[in-house]
Structure 1
Amino acid sequence: MKIRTSSHCLPRDDDGRPSSDAVSITQWDGGFIAALADGAGTAAAAREAAEHAVTMIGTHYRSHPLGWTPGKALRETVRMINRGLWNESLARFARTEMVCTLAVALYDEGILTHLGIGDSRIYLLRAGELQQLTTDDIDPLQTNRLTKALGAGESLSATSFKMSLEAGDTLFLCSDGIHHHLPDDAIYEALASGTSARHLAKQARDASPEETRDDCAAIRIDIDSLEWTARREDHQLPVPEKLAAGQKHDGWSLIRSFGANDRCWLAEREGCRQVMKFAPLEAIDQAAMVEAFLKETWNAIRFSEEAPFVKAWENPARSSLYYNMEFVDAPGLANLLKQRRLQVDETVQLGHFLAGTGIRLLRHDLLHGDIKPENILIGSAYDSVFFKLIDLGSSCEVFSRNSRAGTASYLAPERFKNAPISERTEVFSIGVTLYEAVAGQLPFGQIERFQTPNFRDPKPPGTHNPLVPPWLDAVILRACAIDPEERYSHFSELLFDLANPQKVRPWHPAKAPLIERHPVLFWKCAAIFLAILAVVLAIRLGSASK
């Protein structure tokens, strides 16, 4: 296909203040995605929200599973962005601040899919007629009040629409700063005469009175020609029931499965190796399991370019439901721990890795959900070690899960009482993993899946490994504290203590005796008590002698 594009964001005034609007256009062979967002308000948070929204649209849509239609992938991406903005607003401002409108025009698989949230609009100019494709989400009684916006609520129901495009069509995306001050006939005349997005934005700003002037953003896309784009078949790929060594799938021979999971295999073809992860057996007759696997695929692919994770991709010509991952020739941490404990410096490095990876996922509103040695690869690089986190099958949005999903021995105590998954519960899993890595055993023992354990304060890791310094004892015990209020609240707090051993506070459980929590205070109190007791006894002895 051949298209011509122009886009521009124009601030309300020429006073150096940046625009609160944002635009992006991403193109590939046979498709494009254009996004325009208008920050709700003039605060820096609104501008951040708009820039984040258009950046994430372009970044994450292209990594969606092949099993999703363009509309499904677009709606899922928008839902993810909305929840991320909502949670970031609460975390940073304790109120709704990061809010914006959104308009998206997506051309993929030969179909135009469009979506509008708020009052940013999409127009289509075709054969001399201008049509508004989106509907404004405005309160009919208060025309300045949005009924729907990105980041304004914890959940968002976005509806996408699809239609065909034709050569000669023009798509126009704009913020309310334009359509509030330019009527449709003025927009039509500007588009028909070939006016660029920049000049249209300036025309709207010049036409607006001072009291209603606003930032102006626009994207213009002219469709010169369209090529045929292959449509992916809508039927679901089959799920293989039995997998065995020697079987071939799309030219790859299965060599061996990983661990007890016979759905994840090492495969080889012409001397090259890769990992193939197949959908679970339950996906054969459970649509929910198919959807969960496709979501896992999406997460694996969109994070595969980041260092903590292995690379992942999909084979467009696959004959069954699976995705591919690079084969990292490194043992699992669980297998290594059967041979030896980690050294202190390796344990500290592991803590840095897990907390840092948690922060990366949290930026996308996600938590891993199953941190444990079995999901960590450890390899050697010259004179140091490196780690990789695998298996995003349990990953989920923060606060979205109240079940015991995960591995029982690494679940925070509150998860057994239906508390939602959170940053604190992930910190607990990290703490248990670090304890096991350096001490050679679990702090709370082996816990079965359906067991409701009675947690007791564990012994310091240093009692099992005399090489563990007191400061690391304190960090690990604080990370896996039974009471969530005594635990690190954020990954960043754990990272800070790991990087600053001299600033780590001694750790004592809240119920510990005073002599353990504050020994100096205890002995001061004891000395004062004994002094008072001595004075009282002296007075009584003096009285008795008289």
Structure 2
Amino acid sequence: MKVNLTSYGLPRDGKESEDAFAVKAWDETVIAVLADGTGAARRGREASARIVESLVSNYSARPESWPPQKALTEFTRLINRTLHHESMLQHDAPEMISTLSVAVIEGNRLFGLNVGDSRVYLARGGQLARLSEDHVDEQMRHVLRRAIGLAPDVEPYCFERELNDGDIAFLCSDGVSNVLDESELNARLAQRYAARAIVQHARSVAKPEQLDDMSAIVIDIAETGKLRAVSQLPLHIPETLQKGDVIDGYELVRPFQHSDRVWLATKDGQRWTLKFAPLEARDSEAVLHQFIKETWNATRLGGAFFVEAVVPEKRTAHYYVMEFVEAPSLRMLLKARPLAVDEAVELGKFLVEASQFLLRCDLVHGDIKPENILVITGYDRLSFKLVDLGSATEIFSITSRAGTASYLAPERFRQAPISERTEVFAIGVTLYEALTRSFPYGEIERFQTPVFNKAKAPVRLNPNLPPWLDSLILRALAVIPERRYQHYSEVAFDLAHPEKVEPFYQEPGGGKCTPLRFYQTGFFILLALTLYLLAKLLHH
């Protein structure tokens, strides 16, 4: 493939533009993304930047079994859901709104989608075809009917075309398309204008009322590519796994206690951990889809917080390979002893930093608990690794009770979406348990709908706790979501600055206390007192 990529943008007022755009190329793949943040929204500029970064990053590491159109649609819905829920949580209104246009070239095919009125064109042989669809009100053309972040769900408009040598793909914001009509664009693309020349020309001829942020991307395809043939051999899902089985050179040694689909294996004298797709994935596309997402997350999230994972290039079955870390889980360690205060502080910092890392990928772990934390013993300190990304999911994406019941925030039992503050609750329970070897609200069964009474202060079970850490844990465990830490960054700050942690006092009755209940109780007390005084007056 031989392509020439150019991109350029000009802000309306010489300051910061609401537009964001990026182009990335590798092998025989090109992705171009352009987003135009809505000026009427308070955080439109932030929305457009996050959309572009998310789409490029996610597509670059997309699951190998996802075709381009599926990947683009999934990632678009993900960033839409994230921005909308975050905006509603913080502002009670959609304030992170942007248009989106995407074009992906894989070999000799173009795949794309759009939401809003940022456009995608294909120029061929002197003719210009618009591939995208404008989502605007028919009477008021400046009003978007569809945009990223505007509603909880979005349906992007998708398109696909076969490419010829000499074709040009062109993406632009409405600041360009409102000034240059399609005949003018076609004339300049036919002369192989670069993005800078087109945007500067649009600015030079724009009337005062037409001035807007202007951005464009030009993908000049001198020669299309021919993607290498993908093996047609389907990946199978083993029905049974036994010691001594050899799969792609990995010899299975023993299953791990918690699952017969996770095995210790050896290859070339090294030990590895293999995780296979669940047996249900044979008959359920949804289960297989979830395992593919898990594999994708595991392979892109390795590093300081998680075990490294890879997908063998020539695998014959649905599995992925993780480095084998010979370390006990926190659950195993707690059977012997609770953590010391300094160890618990390190654990808290680790869990918050790992959660912040996931959040940058729009993810939450979804099942933080001692079983999923490996404890690595160093010379003078403990370090940790977070495992089991099978529960990792996009933030705000689920409203079910997915996860382990004893670590679920109270609002999760009432269909609230998974969020930073629900994950903070799980971190709080884990720290409480690590220091006291008990649960703050008792152990909760999977299908139980619990009543959250007042939690016993952890310092009463472990008198070694300093008051600041006691308050930090109780705040993380607050039953009323608004009294809890709202963001990981708040927990991180308090862990790093113990002297600034404010005392935290629980509401009487834990989860039973709400503002409405408080005023109802006060009303009945005053009513009873009034009736008593009235009766006494009548008696006299």
Which bracket does the TM-score occupy, shorter chain normalised?
0.7 to 0.9
The change in CA–CA distance for 1:83 and 1:364 in structure 2 (over 3 A counts) is farther
Aligned ranges for residues 40-55 of structure 1 at < 5 Å?
40-41=38-39, 45-55=43-53
Q: Assess if the C-alpha contact under 8 Å between 1:75 and 1:159 holds in 2.
A: no
Query: Which residue in 2 is equivalent to 1:437?
Result: 434
Q: Which deviates further from its counterpart, 249-258 or 411-420?
A: 411-420
Report the Cα distance in structure 1 between the residues aligned to 2:159 and 2:231, rounded to whole angstroms: 19
1:475 maps to amino acid: L
Check if 1:403 corresponds to 2:400.
Answer: yes
1:9 maps to amino acid: G
State the 1:337 CA deviation.
Answer: 1.7
Report the Cα distance in structure 1 between the residues aligned to 2:217 and 2:275, rounded to whole angstroms: 40
- Pick the aligned partner of 1:128 from 97, 101, 126: 126
Q: Which deviates further from its counterpart, 426-435 or 89-98?
A: 89-98
Aligned ranges for residues 261-280 of structure 1 at < 5 Å?
261-280=259-278
> Residues 442-500 of structure 1: CA distance to partner in whole angstroms, max 9, x if unpaired?
33443332334444434333343332223222222332234445433333333233223
- Pick the aligned partner of 1:333 from 326, 330, 333: 330
Q: Assess if the C-alpha contact under 8 Å between 1:431 and 1:476 holds in 2.
A: yes
Query: Which residue in 2 is equivalent to 1:423?
Result: 420
- Pick the aligned partner of 1:115 from 105, 108, 113: 113
- Pick the aligned partner of 1:489 from 486, 491, 505: 486
Q: Assess if the C-alpha contact under 8 Å between 2:72 and 2:112 holds in 1.
A: no
Query: Which residue in 1 is equivalent to 2:524?
Result: none
Check if 1:163 corresponds to 2:161.
Answer: yes
> Residues 133-179 of structure 1: CA distance to partner in whole angstroms, max 9, x if unpaired?
11211221211111111122221112322221121111111111112
Query: Which residue in 2 is equivalent to 1:78?
Result: 76
Q: Assess if the C-alpha contact under 8 Å between 2:54 and 2:361 holds in 1.
A: no
Q: Assess if the C-alpha contact under 8 Å between 2:441 and 2:455 holds in 1.
A: yes
State the 1:29 CA deviation.
Answer: 0.7
Report the Cα distance in structure 1 between the residues aligned to 2:52 and 2:180, rounded to whole angstroms: 24
> Residues 326-362 of structure 1: CA distance to partner in whole angstroms, max 9, x if unpaired?
3334332122222222111110111122223333333
- Pick the aligned partner of 2:507 from 496, 505, 510: 510
State the 1:72 CA deviation.
Answer: 0.7
State the 1:263 CA deviation.
Answer: 1.4
| TM-score with structure 1 setting the length | 0.87
State the 1:234 CA deviation.
Answer: 7.7
Check if 1:412 corresponds to 2:409.
Answer: yes
Q: Assess if the C-alpha contact under 8 Å between 2:275 and 2:319 holds in 1.
A: yes
Secondary structure in 1 matching 2:215? strand
Query: Which residue in 1 is equivalent to 2:66?
Result: 68
Query: Which residue in 1 is equivalent to 2:194?
Result: 196
Aligned ranges for residues 152-301 of structure 1 at < 5 Å?
152-232=150-230, 237-301=235-299
- Pick the aligned partner of 1:349 from 346, 349, 352: 346
The change in CA–CA distance for 1:419 and 1:89 in structure 2 (over 3 A counts) is closer
Secondary structure in 1 matching 2:198? helix
Q: Assess if the C-alpha contact under 8 Å between 2:454 and 2:509 holds in 1.
A: no
Report the Cα distance in structure 2 between the residues aligned to 1:179 and 1:437, rounded to whole angstroms: 59
Q: Assess if the C-alpha contact under 8 Å between 1:22 and 1:50 holds in 2.
A: yes
What 5-or-longer segments of structure 2 have no aligned partner? 511-540
- Pick the aligned partner of 1:376 from 373, 378, 394: 373
Query: Which residue in 2 is equivalent to 1:473?
Result: 470
| TM-score with structure 2 setting the length | 0.88
Q: Assess if the C-alpha contact under 8 Å between 1:398 and 1:421 holds in 2.
A: yes
Query: Which residue in 2 is equivalent to 1:3?
Result: 3
Q: Assess if the C-alpha contact under 8 Å between 1:265 and 1:277 holds in 2.
A: yes
Q: Assess if the C-alpha contact under 8 Å between 1:87 and 1:365 holds in 2.
A: no
1:503 maps to amino acid: K
Q: Assess if the C-alpha contact under 8 Å between 2:375 and 2:384 holds in 1.
A: yes
- Identical amino acids, percent of aligned pairs: 48
Q: Assess if the C-alpha contact under 8 Å between 2:310 and 2:322 holds in 1.
A: yes
Report the Cα distance in structure 1 between the residues aligned to 2:74 and 2:171, rounded to whole angstroms: 21
The change in CA–CA distance for 1:96 and 1:128 in structure 2 (over 3 A counts) is same
State the 1:217 CA deviation.
Answer: 0.8
2:299 maps to amino acid: I
2:56 maps to amino acid: G
Report the Cα distance in structure 2 between the residues aligned to 1:177 and 1:500, rounded to whole angstroms: 47
Report the Cα distance in structure 2 between the residues aligned to 1:174 and 1:507, rounded to whole angstroms: 52
Check if 1:324 corresponds to 2:348.
Answer: no
Q: Assess if the C-alpha contact under 8 Å between 1:279 and 1:293 holds in 2.
A: yes
Q: Assess if the C-alpha contact under 8 Å between 2:83 and 2:149 holds in 1.
A: yes
What 5-or-longer segments of structure 1 have no aligned partner? 514-546
Q: Assess if the C-alpha contact under 8 Å between 2:132 and 2:157 holds in 1.
A: no
1:373 maps to amino acid: P
> Residues 245-273 of structure 1: CA distance to partner in whole angstroms, max 9, x if unpaired?
22111111122323321212232211233
Q: Assess if the C-alpha contact under 8 Å between 1:79 and 1:155 holds in 2.
A: yes
State the 1:187 CA deviation.
Answer: 1.1
The change in CA–CA distance for 1:111 and 1:330 in structure 2 (over 3 A counts) is farther
State the 1:8 CA deviation.
Answer: 0.5
Q: Assess if the C-alpha contact under 8 Å between 2:101 and 2:112 holds in 1.
A: yes
Q: Assess if the C-alpha contact under 8 Å between 2:400 and 2:412 holds in 1.
A: yes
Report the Cα distance in structure 1 between the residues aligned to 2:68 and 2:305, rounded to whole angstroms: 28
The change in CA–CA distance for 1:167 and 1:110 in structure 2 (over 3 A counts) is closer
Report the Cα distance in structure 2 between the residues aligned to 1:240 and 1:490, rounded to whole angstroms: 42
Report the Cα distance in structure 2 between the residues aligned to 1:237 and 1:175, rounded to whole angstroms: 42
RMSD over aligned Cα, in angstroms?
2.4
State the 1:3 CA deviation.
Answer: 0.9
Secondary structure in 2 matching 1:323? strand
Check if 1:360 corresponds to 2:350.
Answer: no
Q: Assess if the C-alpha contact under 8 Å between 2:108 and 2:164 holds in 1.
A: no
Q: Assess if the C-alpha contact under 8 Å between 1:6 and 1:196 holds in 2.
A: yes
Q: Assess if the C-alpha contact under 8 Å between 2:368 and 2:430 holds in 1.
A: yes
* Greater radius of gyration (CA): 1
Q: Which deviates further from its counterpart, 55-64 or 322-331?
A: 322-331
State the 1:512 CA deviation.
Answer: 7.1
Report the Cα distance in structure 2 between the residues aligned to 1:416 and 1:324, rounded to whole angstroms: 34
Secondary structure in 1 matching 2:291? helix
1:64 maps to amino acid: R
Secondary structure in 2 matching 1:393? helix
Query: Which residue in 2 is equivalent to 1:528?
Result: none
Q: Which deviates further from its counterpart, 325-334 or 179-188?
A: 325-334
Secondary structure in 1 matching 2:196? helix
State the 1:218 CA deviation.
Answer: 1.0
The change in CA–CA distance for 1:155 and 1:35 in structure 2 (over 3 A counts) is same
Q: Assess if the C-alpha contact under 8 Å between 1:66 and 1:314 holds in 2.
A: no
Q: Assess if the C-alpha contact under 8 Å between 1:105 and 1:114 holds in 2.
A: yes
Query: Which residue in 2 is equivalent to 1:501?
Result: 498
Report the Cα distance in structure 1 between the residues aligned to 2:265 and 2:444, rounded to whole angstroms: 33
The change in CA–CA distance for 1:175 and 1:439 in structure 2 (over 3 A counts) is same
Q: Assess if the C-alpha contact under 8 Å between 2:107 and 2:224 holds in 1.
A: no
State the 1:301 CA deviation.
Answer: 3.1
